Structure 1
Amino acid sequence: MTATRRGLLIILSSPSGAGKSTLARRLRTWDADIEFSISATTRAARPGEEDGREYHFVDEAAFKAQVSHGGMLEHAHVFGNFYGSPRAPVQATIDQGRDVLFDIDWQGAQQITNSALGAHTLSIFLLPPSIRELRNRLEKRGQDDAETIARRMEKSWDEISHWGAYDFVIVNDDLDETEEKLKTIISATRLRRSQQPGLTEHVRHLQSEFEELS
Structure 2
Amino acid sequence: MEAKEQGLLIVLSGPSGVGKGTVCAALRKRDVPFTYSISVTTRPPREGEVDGVNYFFKTKEEFENMIKRDEFLEWARYVNHYYGTPRRYVEEQLNAGRDVLLEIEVQGALQVKKKFPQGIFIFLVPPSLKELEQRIVSRGTESRDVIHNRMVVAREELEMMKHYDYVVVNDKVELACDRIEAIILAEHCKRERMMKHYITALKEAE
Q: Partner of 2:60 in structure 1?
A: 60
Q: Partner of 2:163 in structure 1?
A: 165
Q: Partner of 2:28 in structure 1?
A: 28
Is the CA contact (8 Å cut-off) linking 1:42 and 1:57 kept in structure 2? yes
Q: Which has the larger radius of gyration?
A: 1
Q: How many Å apart are 1:77 and its aligned residue?
A: 2.0
Is the CA contact (8 Å cut-off) linking 1:11 and 1:103 kept in structure 2? yes
Matches within 5 A, 1:60-79: 60-79=60-79
Q: How many Å apart are 1:198 and its aligned residue?
A: 3.1
Is the CA contact (8 Å cut-off) linking 1:125 and 1:163 kept in structure 2? yes
The amino acid of 1:126's aligned partner reads L
Aligned residue pairs total: 203
2: CA distance, partners of 1:113 / 1:179: 22
With the length of structure 2 as denominator, give the TM-score of the two structures: 0.86
Q: Partner of 2:120 in structure 1?
A: 122
Q: How many Å apart are 1:195 and its aligned residue?
A: 7.2
What are the ranges of 5 or more consecutive residues in structure 1 without an aligned counterpart?
A: 209-214
Q: How many Å apart are 1:55 and its aligned residue?
A: 1.6
Is the CA contact (8 Å cut-off) linking 2:12 and 2:101 kept in structure 1? yes
C-alpha RMSD over aligned residues: 2.4
2: CA distance, partners of 1:109 / 1:196: 28
Matches within 5 A, 1:18-167: 18-115=18-115, 117-119=116-118, 121-142=119-140, 144-146=141-143, 147-167=145-165
Q: Partner of 2:6 in structure 1?
A: 6
CA 1:123–1:195 in structure 2 vs 1: closer, same or farther (change >3 Å)? farther
2: CA distance, partners of 1:194 / 1:89: 22
The amino acid of 1:50's aligned partner reads V
With the length of structure 1 as denominator, give the TM-score of the two structures: 0.83
Q: How many Å apart are 1:61 and its aligned residue?
A: 1.6
1: CA distance, partners of 2:194 / 2:66: 27
CA 1:9–1:172 in structure 2 vs 1: closer, same or farther (change >3 Å)? same
CA 1:47–1:154 in structure 2 vs 1: closer, same or farther (change >3 Å)? farther
